[in-house]
Amino acid sequence: MQELTVGEAARRSGVAISALHFYEKKGLISSLRTPGNQRRYARDVLRRLAVIRVAQRVGIPLEAVRRAFATLPQERTPTRAEWARMSALWREELDTRIAQLNLLRHQLTECIGCGCLSLQRCRLANPGDVLGESGDGPRAWDEVNSHE
Amino acid sequence: MQELTVGEAARRSGVAISALHFYEKKGLISSLRTPGNQRRYARDVLRRLAVIRVAQRVGIPLEAVRRAFATLPQERTPTRAEWARMSALWREELDTRIAQLNLLRHQLTECIGCGCLSLQRCRLANPGDVLGESGDGPRAWDEVNSHE
DNA sequence: ATGCGACCTCAACCAAGCTTGAGGTCAAGA
DNA sequence: TCTTGACCTCAAGCTTGGTTGAGGTCGCAT
């Protein structure tokens, strides 16, 4: 079986059919059509859906995924090298997220461990603020989110 | 300075004033009022906001945070022990998330590294599916999300 | 040829998580 | 006293990421 119907893609990816339609409308995936106007997906759609799911899990918006996918060829299945290039980018993204989560976990532990209820000094409660001198709160995470 | 105005809380936490109002309406934080009806926050609000931000970052919905906060005392500043108890729960949650992110990163790397474009066999593309036998896709992550 | 499940489009609706705006009050300095 | 910025409430609006439903078609088996 070379091409997948929506139902098959949905079952295999764990993504609802309505979501597949939605992703297609948003330009994250694409499909060929049968003479009878039914969608047929190349197998690489499953990889795209996997990436989409990963992204969702780490809080990266679909629009950022779309931008990343825009670096892949539109009308032909990406080569291994093309996927690898994109994947390297994502791996960095994931590494960053993991590092930040670890940092937060550490800070939370420390914060509770040391009993520092004087929150003005707590790095977790108050990341990057340094007692209000800097003015407008932490944006590092958002920069990661937009990543461009 | 024992109590914080909304503006101070917003600046220190990096959360918009409108979001503070929103969180209060949703029951995640609370405030005392001055004779003139202005909000005054106890300092533990900063810790709550920090926890809220952590939760948001790892994709935990506000409602779950509210439920967690519901285990803390309502009308008095939680003790260190009370925070520690809650924090332990969150630490587990964060550990789980980190573990899952690491797994995903590993799977993504492997998947590209081995060039397995035969996605039917790819664990990342197709987690828990085993070629469609199980029927309705992966739910493990959602269970983590609801965590009750 | 007819029934059935899987598929199609399009528009409406939903929930979370906020922001924005209107219309008004508070509090402190010049 | 007056002005200015910070604050108040309430309702409406916005974005993201979808789901639901109506009304109709496809395509395969009987």
3-state SS string for A7-72? HHHHHHHCCCHHHHHHHHHCCCCCCEECCCCCEEECCHHHHHHHHHHHHHHCCCCHHHHHHHHCCC
Note whether B105 contacts A128, CB cutoff 8 Å: no
Task: List beta partners, residue B39.
Answer: B33
Q: Which domain range does residue B69 map to?
A: 3-101
Same-domain pairing of B97 and B35: yes
Q: Using one digit for the tens of pLDDT, what is the confidence trace for A25-69?
A: 999 999 999 999 999 999 889 989 988 988 887 778 899 899 989
Q: Is the CB of B35 under 7 A from strand C?
A: yes
Gap from B103 CA to D17 C1', in Å? 25
Q: Is residue A125 part of a domain?
A: yes
Q: Is residue A106 part of a domain?
A: no
Alpha helices (runs of H) in chain B, residue ranges in sequence order: 6-13, 17-25, 44-57, 62-69, 80-113, 140-146
Statement: residue B37 has pLDDT above 80: yes
**What is the identity of the amino acid at B42?**
A
Same-domain pairing of A43 and A70: yes
Same-domain pairing of A21 and A89: yes
* CATH assignment at residue B50: 1.10.1660.10
Residue A110's pLDDT is 63
Note whether A87 contacts B98, CB cutoff 8 Å: no
Same-domain pairing of B48 and B83: yes
Q: Is residue B145 part of a domain?
A: yes
* pTM, rounded to two decimals: 0.75
A91 interfaces chain B, CB cutoff of 8 Å: yes
Residue B2's pLDDT is 74
B108 falls in which pLDDT band (50, 70, 90)? Answer: low
Residue A31's pLDDT is 94
Say if CB B125 and CB B111 are below 8 A apart: yes
**CB-count burial class (<10 Å; 0-12, 13-18, 19+) for A36:** exposed
- A22: tokens are 């939605």
Among the partner residues B8, B14, B80, nearest to A117 by beta-carbon distance: B80
Same-domain pairing of B71 and B12: yes
Q: Is residue B61 part of a domain?
A: yes
Q: Using one digit for the tens of pLDDT, what is the confidence trace for A64-102?
A: 899 989 888 866 777 777 877 887 777 877 787 787 777
Q: Is residue A107 part of a domain?
A: no
Q: Is the CB of A12 under 7 A from strand C?
A: no
Nucleotides of D under 7 A from a protein CB: 6-10, 16-20, 25-27
Same-domain pairing of B93 and B148: no
Same-domain pairing of B9 and B65: yes
Higher pLDDT, B75 or B71: B71
**CB-count burial class (<10 Å; 0-12, 13-18, 19+) for B86:** middle
Gap from B89 CA to D26 C1', in Å? 52
Residue B74's pLDDT is 67
**Range picked from A1-5, A6-10, A105-109, A123-127 for highest mean pLDDT:** A6-10
Out of A129-133, B25-29, B37-41, B64-68, pick the least confident. A129-133
Same-domain pairing of A56 and A26: yes
**What is the identity of the amino acid at B96?**
T
Distance from CA of A48 to the nearest CA of B (A): 8
Same-domain pairing of A96 and A122: no
Number of domains making up chain A: 2
Q: What is the mean pLDDT of chain B?
A: 73
B42 interfaces chain A, CB cutoff of 8 Å: no
Residue B62's pLDDT is 93
Instruction: Report the alpha-carbon distance of residue B129 to residue B140 in Å, rounded.
Output: 12
Same-domain pairing of A74 and A46: yes
Count CB atoms within 10 A of the CB of residue A112: 23
Taking C1' of D9 and every protein CA, the nearest residue is B21
Same-domain pairing of B77 and B125: no
